[in-house]
Amino acid sequence: MEHKLVRIGSRGSELALWQAHWIRRELVRLHPRVRTSVEIIRTTGDRILDSPLSGIGEKGLFTKEIEEALLEDRIDLAVHSLKDLPTELPRGLVIGAVSMREDVRDVFIPHPSNPVRTLLDQPPGATIATGSLRRKSQLLNLRPDFRTVDLRGNLNTRLKKLDESDWAGMVLARAGVARLGWTDRVGETLSVETILPAVGQGALAVEIREGDALTAGLIRSLEHWETERATCAERALLRGLEGGCQVPIGTFGIVEREGPGEYILRLTAAVGSLDGTTIIRGKVHGDPEEAEALGSRLATALLSGGADAILRSIRPEHAAEEARPSGLADQSADRGP
């Protein structure tokens, strides 16, 4: 192992590099004689900054080029926010490890001049920025009077846009805010009962080449079983709904200890219309070893309970939205903080 160089692929944003270097430090801690390097790879999602991601119409916006580098043996592993990783991976690639989840919840960050720190206590007609259809749907379900605006960019860019705006505030994932040390800006951490997170939110995925036993062995200790099982169920749910960044789907899986050696996986999910007027919710629970089956079962129940009609109504709308000038759209994908 002394001469092994592990090449880690990552996007170039501050948060992506934080994640890649965290994995690098863990590898060095676990395998002190292994050398590492971090290779920055620019993705489609990093290059297209003037359009809502939900209108771009391409899967793997933040992963495609990194996965190509993996397949071409230019890197040995890729570090992703799990919520960026499509549920269907390219042939020849697998998820080698899912790390312990950071706080899964969203946060409300008020404008610096806004004295009202909590989301639902904002005045009527308040403007809330979010880069997520999932958040928009749930926000409008809670407060139909809210006005939502699209927000893209890394965390520093989003904070700067907020500071220069007349918005009441913005909603982001707490994980990214905490990792970059901006929790002092948080007005409120939102419960999962208030806003369900994105699939895989707060977890890191290490993607490797199938059959690369050496790299698989090196990263095996990074795996967190409870997180892997919970997010496996979430990803199976998303796969069953045939959803992606264009669809407002929220979900939260958690593995809880029931007794000595006994665990239960609880999975909650919701599919909502873009205007928030209709949200179909559901829950399942069962053996964590049956995580994929549980996610698929909940997807089927949601579809039969009305989610199918919502999804069919949303997809044509986004096909039309793709043709609009970018400045007119007010939704984007559930990616980034």
Instruction: Give the pLDDT confidence of 4-59 residue by residue, as tens digits.
Output: 799 999 999 999 999 999 999 999 999 999 999 999 998 765 555 444 444 444 55
- Residue 187 is part of which domain span? 106-198
What per-residue string of b and e applies to 229-248 under the rule 16 or more CB within 10 Å gives b? bbbbbbbbbbbbbebbbbbb
User: CA 280, CA 307: separation in Å to the nearest integer?
Assistant: 6
pLDDT tens digits, 211-257: 999 999 999 999 999 999 999 999 999 999 986 556 899 999 999 99
Q: 14-30 and 155-163 are packed helices; what angle lies between their axes, rounded to 10 degrees? A: 150
What are the residues facing 147 on neighbouring strands? 127
Predicted local confidence at residue 244, as pLDDT: 59
Q: Give the CATH number, domain containing residue 170.
A: 3.40.190.10
Is residue 337 situated within a structural domain? no
Is residue 124 situated within a structural domain? yes
Is residue 160 situated within a structural domain? yes
User: CA 240, CA 265: separation in Å to the nearest integer?
Assistant: 18
In the predicted structure, residue 119 carries a pLDDT above the cut 60: yes
Confidence tier at 325 by pLDDT (50, 70, 90): very low
How many domains does the chain contain in total?
Answer: 1
- Catalytic residue positions, numbered: 84
Is residue 81 situated within a structural domain? no
Is residue 176 situated within a structural domain? yes
- This prediction has a pTM of 0.88
Is residue 130 situated within a structural domain? yes
Is residue 119 situated within a structural domain? yes
Average pLDDT value for the chain = 89
Is residue 179 situated within a structural domain? yes
User: CA 58, CA 72: separation in Å to the nearest integer?
Assistant: 21
User: CA 304, CA 284: separation in Å to the nearest integer?
Assistant: 15
